[in-house]
Amino acid sequence: MKITELERDAVYKTIFSRRDVRGQFKPKPIPDDVLKRILTAAHHAPSVGFMQPWDFIVVKNQVVKEKIKLGFEDANKTSAAMFDDEKMQQYKNLKLEGILESPVGICVTCDRSRNGPVVLGRTINPEMDLYSSVCAVQNLWLAARAENIGVGWVSIIHDDVIKSALNIPEDINIIAYLCLGYVTQFNDKPELEKLGWLPRRDVDSAIHFDGWKQK
């Protein structure tokens, strides 16, 4: 199947306009068929040995969201204290999640025991199943952006909080808790870049040929 130039350009536009959304969510619900398309795209991510180690827990219940929000607030206080005074103040002014504002939360997990102890492609690098599950997150994110739906990754939270709130078995790994919803706008730049938290690296500085180049 050949990709046309128009289709190629749409893929690049989606990649370059993807954002981590925290504070622009609308209460408008995501239609079931749209959510299913997004999750189906995530399910078609590449996976080591075709093991498909992921599962997706869809969260709409407000009580469950409030439990996750409390977990974020606790972890966020701990995180803020790790920065020096200048960065700490800047950190505290950032909105870093949209757990209650977004109409849908999705927890992406990884079952590392799926398809048995020996998996093609994971025999030497056993963490490849975790990386495969992260690919599912990226597929989900890009599919959502193509649907004009924002996604925010809540990384400032302890796994045990999510496991308790969502009744996830102990042997299942948490990969991501994501907030999804329609938004008032997509920023022209990533928020942390726009606010001066860090600049974007020039792509040429990240590209090496035939070995690691000296800085």
Contact (Cβ atoms closer than 8 angstroms) between residue 42 and residue 133: no
For residue 25, the tally of other CB atoms under 10 A from its CB is 23
Examine residue 75 and state whether it is found in any structural domain, yes or no.
yes
Tokens 């690098």, located at residue: 125
Contacts of 195 (CB under 8 A, 6+ apart): 90, 94
Cβ neighbours for 67, distance < 8 A, ≥ 6 positions apart: 161, 164, 165
- Residues 33-48 have a mean pLDDT of 98
For range 202-209, the mean pLDDT: 94
pLDDT band at 214 (very low <50, low <70, confident <90, very high): confident
If you average pLDDT over every residue of the chain, what do you get? 96
Upper half-sphere CA count for residue 36 (Cβ side, 13 Å)? 3
pLDDT in tens, 115-151: 999 999 999 999 999 999 999 999 999 999 999 999 9
User: pTM for this one?
Assistant: 0.95
Q: Which amino acid is at 214?
A: Q
Could you give the number of structural domains in the chain?
Answer: 1
Give the per-residue pLDDT at 215: 64
Establish if 144 belongs to a structural domain: yes
CATH code of the domain containing 125:
3.40.109.10
**Domain membership flag for residue 1:** no
- Residue 170 pLDDT grade (very low, low, confident, very high; cuts 50, 70, 90): very high
Identify whether the C-beta of residue 102 lies closer than 8 Å to the C-beta of residue 95: no
Indicate whether 195 pLDDT > 90: no
H-helix or E-strand spanning residue 6: helix 5-17
Residue 8 lies in a domain: no
Domain span including residue 107: 19-197
Tens digit of each residue's pLDDT (9 = 90 or more) over 61-115: 999 999 999 999 999 999 999 999 889 999 999 999 999 999 999 999 999 999 9
Distance CA 27, CA 181 (A): 8
Q: Report if residue 3 sits inside a domain.
A: no
Whether residue 13 lies inside any domain: the answer is: no
202 in a domain, yes or no?
A: no
- Residue 7 falls inside a structural domain: no
Strand partners, 181: 150
Q: What is the mean pLDDT of residues 47-57?
A: 98
Instruction: Locate 83 and state its tokens.
Output: 């920065």
